[in-house]
Structure 1
Amino acid sequence: MTARLVRPSWTEAREAAHAAGLAARRPAEVVPLRAAAARTLGADVRSLTRVPGFDASAMDGWAVAGDGPWTLGDPVVAGPVVPSAPLRAGQARPITTGAVVPVGADRVLRSESGRLEAGRLVDGGDPGRRHPRHVRLAGEEAEPGDLLFAAGTTLTPPRLAVAAVCGLDEVTVVRQPRAALAVLGDEVTGSGIPAAGTVRDVFSPSVPDILRSLGAVCDSAARAPDDLDETVEALGRSDVDLLITTGGTAHSSTDHVRAALDRLGAELVVEGVAMRPGQPLLLARRPGILHLCLPGNPMAALTCLVAIGVPLVDGLLGRPQTRPGSVSLAVDVEHPRPGVLLQAYRLDDEGLARPVARQSSAMLRGLAEADGLLVVPQGGARRGDPVRSLALPW
Structure 2
Amino acid sequence: MAALVRGDWDAVRRVSTSRAKPLASEMCDLADAHGRVLASDVRSLIDLPAADVSAMDGWAVSGEGPWQVRGRLVNGTTPDGPLGAQEAIGIGTGGVVPAGATAIIRREHGDIIDGQLQWAPPTGVALSLKDVRPRGDEAHRGDVMVHAGARLDSMSIALAASTGHDELEVAIVPTIDLLVTGDEVDLSGRPVPGRVRDSVSPALTGMVRGAGGSVENVLAVPDDVEALAAQLLASTADIVITTGGTAVGEADHLHEALRRVRAEIIVDRVAVRPGGPTVLAILPDGRLVAGLPGNPLAAVVGFLAVVEPALRAMTLETERPNTRELLGTDLDRFDGGTRIVPFIRSDAGVVPTSWTGSSMLRGLASSDGLLVVRPGAATAGTSIETLPAVWRHA
Q: Helix, strand or coil: the match of 1:48?
A: coil
Q: Does 1:215 align with 2:195?
A: no
Q: How many percent of aligned residue pairs carry the same amino acid? A: 38
Q: Answer whether contact 1:314 1:322 (CA < 8 A) is retained.
A: no
- Name which of 155, 158, 167 aligns with 1:158: 155
Amino acid at match of 2:80: S
- CA-based RMSD of the aligned residues comes to 2.1
Q: Does 1:271 align with 2:275?
A: no
In structure 1, C-alpha distance between the alignment counterparts of 2:378 and 2:122, rounded to whole Å:
55
- Name which of 334, 338, 341 aligns with 1:340: 338
Paired residues, number: 389
Change (3 A) 1:160 1:255: same
In structure 1, C-alpha distance between the alignment counterparts of 2:274 and 2:367, rounded to whole Å:
16
- Could you say which residue in structure 1 is the equivalent of 2:4? 5
- Name which of 163, 173, 176 aligns with 2:173: 176
Shift of residue 374, structure 1, vs aligned partner: 0.6
- Matches of residues 258-337 of structure 1 in structure 2 within 5 Å? 258-286=255-283, 287-337=285-335
Shift of residue 213, structure 1, vs aligned partner: 3.0
Shift of residue 20, structure 1, vs aligned partner: 2.4
Q: Point out the more displaced range, 223-232 or 306-315.
A: 306-315
- Could you say which residue in structure 1 is the equivalent of 2:105? 109
Q: Helix, strand or coil: the match of 1:244?
A: strand
Shift of residue 366, structure 1, vs aligned partner: 1.3
Map Cα deviations across residues 65-118 of structure 1 (whole Å, 9 max, x no partner).
2333333222112113x2132123432211111211010112321112223456
Q: Point out the more displaced range, 171-180 or 219-228.
A: 219-228
Q: Helix, strand or coil: the match of 1:218?
A: strand
Which stretches in structure 1 are left out of the alignment for 5+ residues?
none
- Could you say which residue in structure 2 is the equivalent of 1:88? 84
**TM superposition score normalised by structure 2:** 0.92
Q: Answer whether contact 1:266 1:285 (CA < 8 A) is retained.
A: yes
In structure 2, C-alpha distance between the alignment counterparts of 1:108 and 1:338, rounded to whole Å:
69
Shift of residue 198, structure 1, vs aligned partner: 2.9
In structure 2, C-alpha distance between the alignment counterparts of 1:351 and 1:77, rounded to whole Å:
57
Map Cα deviations across residues 143-201 of structure 1 (whole Å, 9 max, x no partner).
22111222211121221221122122221111111111001122222333434433221
Amino acid at match of 1:260: A
Change (3 A) 1:129 1:322: farther
In structure 1, C-alpha distance between the alignment counterparts of 2:93 and 2:385, rounded to whole Å:
47
In structure 1, C-alpha distance between the alignment counterparts of 2:312 and 2:273, rounded to whole Å:
23
- Could you say which residue in structure 1 is the equivalent of 2:34? 37
- Could you say which residue in structure 2 is the equivalent of 1:371? 368
- Could you say which residue in structure 1 is the equivalent of 2:76? 79
Q: Point out the more displaced range, 293-302 or 322-331.
A: 322-331
Structure 1 runs, 4 residues or longer, greater than 6 Å off: none
Change (3 A) 1:362 1:55: same
Amino acid at match of 1:86: P
Which stretches in structure 2 are left out of the alignment for 5+ residues?
none
Map Cα deviations across residues 245-272 of structure 1 (whole Å, 9 max, x no partner).
1111112222111111122111222222
In structure 2, C-alpha distance between the alignment counterparts of 1:257 and 1:341, rounded to whole Å:
24
In structure 2, C-alpha distance between the alignment counterparts of 1:153 and 1:204, rounded to whole Å:
27
In structure 2, C-alpha distance between the alignment counterparts of 1:100 and 1:281, rounded to whole Å:
61
**TM superposition score normalised by structure 1:** 0.92
Bigger fraction of residues in strand:
2
Shift of residue 311, structure 1, vs aligned partner: 1.8
Change (3 A) 1:52 1:105: same
Q: Answer whether contact 1:214 1:310 (CA < 8 A) is retained.
A: yes
- Could you say which residue in structure 2 is the equivalent of 1:125? 121
- Could you say which residue in structure 2 is the equivalent of 1:68? 65
Q: Answer whether contact 1:47 1:144 (CA < 8 A) is retained.
A: yes
In structure 2, C-alpha distance between the alignment counterparts of 1:109 and 1:317, rounded to whole Å:
51
